[in-house]
Amino acid sequence: MKRYFLLTVLCFTCLIVGAQTVRMMSYNIHNGVGMDKVRDYDRLAKVILQMHPNFVAIQELDSVTHRSNGDDVLGELAKRTKMRAFYAPAIDYDGGKYGIGVLAKKKPVAVYKHALPGKEEQRALIVVEFKKMVFCCTHLSLTKEDRLASLKIIQDIASQFKGKKPVFVAGDFNDSPNSPLLEAAQNDFHVLTDMTQPTFPAPSPKETIDYIIVQKDSLKDFQVKEAIVVNEPVASDHRPVFVKVKGR
């Protein structure tokens, strides 16, 4: 326990001074329900904690809906991971809200929430600004045109921080590495996750649709030390993606 505490303190120190070491995840958690049809927050928290992330982008989150038995799903994960929770509802749903969120070890300086288009359902972007970086989460539409329109909004928002702070965007993009969306995204962003590793469906992944990307002008300041898809076939219908970057 003492060793874990010391590692945590070291991680905070790295984020605050000099060369940063940042551990990031993106996880579509299927509202907490695994492939075995069991809602298990402890299991999901364990998946997250084993990677020791500083920031986690989470998609498919109910907040006090009948479907989640009145649970604030992000809040349940925050309690179990001992991280701060920041929620962005996308739609009203089943007596509550449904959307996306971010878990973070640090207190941000600001949190911004933006609506994104989606013909089947409205989508959202949450932008969590910290002293030295910006971490965003999204879950893009099932519709190609809406995904491309969302990318333009994300690019415009990220450009506000250009030259000031590195901007990371993580989430379920609902599109493949060779899609027009990813091709267009790479005009302004570099993909940090390994696009050769599929993320969905979790039991036997065949598609790569979950990503962590960084604004290109920030890339010169970071070196990717690790980029993996976490081998977790049951806790959700997606496997989480994880990236570790270190300041140069």
The predicted-structure confidence for 56-110, as pLDDT tens digits, reads as follows: 999 999 999 999 999 999 999 999 999 999 999 999 999 999 999 999 999 999 9
Domain of 181, in residue numbers: 23-247
Q: In terms of DSSP H, where are the helices of the chain? A: 2-16, 41-49, 73-81, 144-159, 180-185
130 against 10, higher pLDDT: 130
Q: Distance of CA 104 to CAs 12, 57, 167, 186, 233, Å?
A: 11, 9, 15, 26, 24
Lowest mean pLDDT, pick from 6-20, 190-204, 207-221, 229-243: 6-20
Lowest mean pLDDT, pick from 3-7, 198-202, 214-218: 3-7
2 against 207, higher pLDDT: 207
Longest Cα separation, the chain: 51
Say which amino acid occupies 218.
Answer: S
- The number of distinct structural domains making up the chain is 1
Q: Distance of CA 24 to CAs 122, 169, 192, 222, Å?
A: 26, 10, 10, 13
**Considering the domain boundaries, does residue 203 fall inside one?**
yes
Is 13's pLDDT higher than 80? no
* Predicted local distance difference test score (pLDDT) of residue 34: 98
Distance CA 189, CA 128 (A): 18
- CATH number of domain containing 168: 3.60.10.10
CA 204 to chain centre: 21
Distance CA 10, CA 231 (A): 26
Is 209's pLDDT higher than 60? yes
**Considering the domain boundaries, does residue 199 fall inside one?**
yes
Question: For residue 242, what pLDDT band results from cuts at 50, 70 and 90?
Answer: very high
Question: For residue 2, what pLDDT band results from cuts at 50, 70 and 90?
Answer: very low
* Predicted local distance difference test score (pLDDT) of residue 210: 99
The structure tokens listed for 85 are 């929770």
**Considering the domain boundaries, does residue 97 fall inside one?**
yes
**Considering the domain boundaries, does residue 9 fall inside one?**
no
**Considering the domain boundaries, does residue 13 fall inside one?**
no
Q: Which residues pair with 172 in a beta bridge?
A: 139, 210
- Nearest-5° angle of CA 99, CA 96, CA 172? 15
**Considering the domain boundaries, does residue 2 fall inside one?**
no
Q: Distance of CA 29 to CAs 9, 10, 135, 178, 197, Å?
A: 28, 29, 18, 24, 18
pLDDT average, residue stretch 138-148: 98
pLDDT average, residue stretch 190-205: 98
